[in-house]
Each structure stands twice: as C-alpha cells, then as structure tokens.
Amino acid sequence: MLPPTNGKKQVYNDGVVRVGLIIVFAIGTATTVLGYPSYTEMFDDIPDLVSRSTLVCKGEVVYAPEVMIVDNPKDQVATATVSMDRCFKGRAQVVRVVFDAFTTGGGHSGGPLFRLTTGDHDLFFLKLQGDNFVAVNNRSGALPISRKMGPRAEGSDSLTQLELDFKAGLNDPDPELVLASICLLGAIKHLHSISELLALLDSADLLQKTYLWEALLKLKTYSVLPAVAKFFADQPDPPIELFLPRDRVFAMEHRLFHQVSRIQDTSALAYLQQFALAPNPRLRMNALQALRSIEDPRTAPTFLKALEDDDSDNAFSAMQGLCRAGRWGRNRLGAQLGGV
C-alpha cells in the first residue's frame, strides 16, 4: 500500500494500523484513510509483482459496485471495470477486475482485502482467472500512482519503463502522489539512476525526506546514513498512540528502523554500531539484527556492551550476535591457516 489520495485504504484491519508495539489509530472510518504511511508498503517488491503478473498497467476504475456490509464475508466478491492508460507488461484497454466487495458489521475482515472504488487511479498487478482478472497480491495488487507518464523507452523492459513513469510522478502537483512515486522507486530495488531522488533531498520537508531516506536505503545508498542518524538523534520520544495523519513522521521513523535491520553492508558498520547503543530500544533492536546478519568479528565490542541492554530481548540478541561473530572469526582464521 502507498499513501492514497483517492479516499481508499488498500489494507483493512479494523481501522487500526499496528506498527510493531506502537498502535496507530486511523481517524475516520475503517475504509477511508487519506495519505497515511503504511507499515505494509515497506514490503512492496515491484520486480516480484511484475514477474507474477500477466498484466501490469495503470488506469482508472470507471465503475465498481459499492462495498456491502455482510455477516458472512466468505466469497463476497464483485467485479470492477478498469480503463487502462498505459501497460508495462501485457496489453489491455478495458478489463474486468474481481475485488472484495464486503465488510463485516464489526469491521473485522479476517485479513487483507483487495478493494476498488470508482474513480481510483492505480498501478495494477493482475493475472487472468477465467474471463476476469484478479490481483496477484491482495495487499499490493493496486497501488496509487501519478497520472503523469514518463517517456517511452522503445525496446526497454517492464521495470525500466516503470522507473521512467515513477520518476515522472516526482513532479506531480499532488504531494501525496509524489510520496507514492518515491515509495514505488524504492520498491523497484535497482534503478538506472538515483539522481532524481537525491535532487529532492535539498528541497524536501521532513516528511518527504523520511520517504526519500527509506527509498534510498532500499536502494543501498548508504551515503544518507549521516542524515538518518541525525534524524534519529533529533526525534523526540513518540507518543504511545500515533494519531494519523498528525504523527506521520513518527510512523516513518519506525519504517526507517526496519530499513536499518535490512542493511548487510560492512561499509555501514559504524552507523549500525552507533544505532545498536542508541537510546531508542526499537532502533537498537533493528541495528542488532543487522549486525548479526553481517557476522563480522569487529562487531564483538558492540555486542558485549549490548549484553547489558535494559531490554531483555535486545540483550539476548546481543548474545546471539556475539556467538555468531566469534564463530565467523574462528572460521575465517581457520581458512587463512589452512591456506598457508
């Protein structure tokens, strides 16, 4: 899910977005959330979605039946009509897309639902099922996207053309669709150029910077870590309850924590070691996870200090990391001696 501007929320969970141990309460109804950072969009994987789809296009939902309130949601689906503007894989002009057209009286859906609303403009990842199309992934089957189009790159692959369209969206007059475009670029995982993202950093407000940092960390651009470290240091403690959209920056802080946990590059060791001893326990947790995955004996002093972490889970993580670092060092020494 990306920050929608069309009044819909891709993932429904009783009107509550749960972010780790922090509970984010959506203001308004369970089905109308405008421009909220989503925990789930951190996991969007554009290459995977493209590979699993037979049709990847962006377009507008010209008609979708209204959602029904039912007691038994099993098999309550409807079909929407979608007019495609541009296709990146496969070809289509108008297609029928099956979606979940229900909600229960209590709001509990039992899992992520794929919802479409008349007027939505999205990037669709679809596969054929009988005479209609279905989403390849309920959570990411339709992602909000700018209507702006990049130049045609004749002979290019789907991901290259998507990159050009996402970059065109960076100039959308709607700031929410600019954020969506930033997220989409990060979700491609490899770009021909990151210059467009870097250029935005100078003029971005704090919220947009957090989106840019997240996308650049996904793209393994660790030159942004000094700025991210300063952001973490300057951030006040978050409230127990994050009310959106007021607390969007706090929600993005959590998402940046997650990106820290995914770093596996020794060039970032200094910052990971700094984060592992930071005041915020969740930042420490994610940094320790990254250090464990790197398995470098130089991390041993940090793990030793982290054994005294007030958080028992973090202390246990440090113990695991210390064992791994020691084992990695012994194996490396053995390999060197064996080659003598």
The Cα–Cα gap between 171 and 175 comes to 9
The Cα–Cα gap between 72 and 90 comes to 36
* Per-residue model confidence (pLDDT) at position 70: 66
pLDDT in tens, 73-115: 566 789 999 999 999 999 999 999 999 887 765 554 555 688 8
* DSSP string over 235-292: PPPPPSEEEETTTHHHHHHHHHHHHHHT---GGGHHHHHHHHTSS-HHHHHHHHHHHH
* DSSP string over 7-25: S--SS-STTEEEETTEEEE
β partners of residue 100: 77
* Per-residue model confidence (pLDDT) at position 334: 46
- By the 8 A CB rule, do 160 and 153 touch? yes
Nearest Cα residue to 300 out of 331, 279, 269: 269
The Cα–Cα gap between 18 and 22 comes to 6
DSSP 224: G
| pTM for this prediction | 0.83
* Per-residue model confidence (pLDDT) at position 69: 74
Q: Is the dihedral of CA 257, 8, 69, 73 positive or negative?
A: negative
The Cα–Cα gap between 242 and 19 comes to 9
* Per-residue model confidence (pLDDT) at position 100: 87
Domains and CATH numbers, the chain: 16-234 (no CATH), 263-338 (1.25.10.10)
How many C-beta neighbours within 10 Å does residue 130 have?
7
Residue 285, class by beta-carbon neighbours within 10 Å (0-12 exposed, 13-18 middle, 19+ buried)?
buried
Phi, psi angles (nearest 5°) of residue 220? 60, 35
* Per-residue model confidence (pLDDT) at position 101: 81
* Per-residue model confidence (pLDDT) at position 35: 46
* Per-residue model confidence (pLDDT) at position 241: 86
- By the 8 A CB rule, do 125 and 136 touch? yes
The whole-number mean pLDDT for each consecutive block of 10 residues of the chain, a chain of 340 residues, reads 36 34 35 46 85 97 86 76 97 95 60 86 96 93 95 90 97 96 95 96 94 97 98 92 89 96 96 97 97 91 95 95 72 48
For residue 37, the Cα-to-chain-centroid distance in whole angstroms is 9
Helix runs in the chain, H state only? 46-52, 158-168, 175-188, 195-200, 206-218, 225-234, 248-261, 269-276, 281-294, 300-306, 312-338
Q: What is the mean pLDDT of the chain?
A: 84
For residue 128, the Cα-to-chain-centroid distance in whole angstroms is 26
DSSP 140: T
Q: Is 197 helix (H, G, I), strand (E, B) or coil?
A: helix
The Cα–Cα gap between 93 and 140 comes to 21
- Output the six-digit token pair for 100: 């979940």
